[in-house]
Amino acid sequence: GGGINNGGSAVIRNCEFSGNAGAEGGAISSDGTLDVESSLFYNNTAHREGNPSGGGGAIASGGVVTLTNSTFVSNYTTFMGGAINNDGKLTVTNCSFSYNTSGMGGGAINTTSNLTLRNSIIANSMWSESCQDWEGGTIYDGGGNLRWPKTDKTCVGDFGDPRLEPLENNGGPTMTMALPIGSAAEQLATTNCPATDQRGMPRGLQSNRCDAGAYEIQRNELEGLFVFFPAVFKSP
C-alpha cells in the first residue's frame, strides 16, 4: 500500500488519499479489517511490477472491508481494479466511483470473492467493464445502485446518468462530486441510507429515501429559496 499497509484492524474517517503509488493498493493494502468512511481517494496508482496479485489503484484487499460515503476518482492500475481489487469480503455503501482506469479489467472494481454494492454510483470508467467478477467472484446487488454508461453491463443497479459535477470543495472535510437536481441518482436508494453524506450533511430528511453515491442534495434548502426580481414602482 502506497499510503497504508494494514494487517490488523484500521478505521479511517474524513481522510484524503491522493497521489499515492504502490505495487498493490495505490493508497491502501489491507489483509485485515478495514472500515473507511467519508473519505476521498483521488489519483492513486498501483503498478503490478511483477507482483502476482497487485492491482487496486486505490485499495487492494484480502480481508474484510467496509466502505461508506466515500469518493473514488481518477485512480489507476496496470492490473485489475482501477479503484479497488478485492480478494476478501467487500461491502460498499453510498460511494461514488468515476473516471477510474485499469489495464486488465474492472475499471472501478475487480473482485475474486464477495462484493456487495448498496446505494452507490459507478460511472465513467476508462475501461469497457466497470466491474469484474474474476475467478469465481460474486457481485451482490444490495439495491439503490446506479451505473453509467448504458454500454457497461458488468455492474449491478439501474442505468442512468448521475451527471456528476467536477470534484471540488462542496463543504465538509474532503472534496466531493456534487449531484445536480435531475440526476438519475436522486432519491434512488430506499434502504441502508446512512444518516449523513460524505460532507456530514443530513440524508433522508423528508422520506426514508436518499440519493445514491456519496453526496446528498439538500432539498430542504432548495425548497426554501426565494428568488427576487428587480422592480420599479412609481406613484401615479
φ, ψ of residue 219 to 5 degrees: the values are -70, -30
pLDDT value, residue 205: 76
For the whole model, what pTM was predicted?
0.91
Extents of the domains making up the chain: 4-219
pLDDT value, residue 153: 86
pLDDT value, residue 50: 59
Confidence of residue 52 (pLDDT cuts 50, 70, 90): low
Q: What is the mean pLDDT of residues 109-117?
A: 96
Q: What percent of the chain has pLDDT over 70?
A: 90
Q: Distance between CA atoms of 47 and 81, rounded to whole angstroms?
A: 11
Q: What percent of the chain has pLDDT over 90?
A: 79
The 10s digit of each residue's pLDDT in 207-236 is: 789 999 999 999 875 544 333 334 334 334
pLDDT value, residue 231: 38
Among 73, 71, 69, 81, smallest CA distance to 29 is for 81
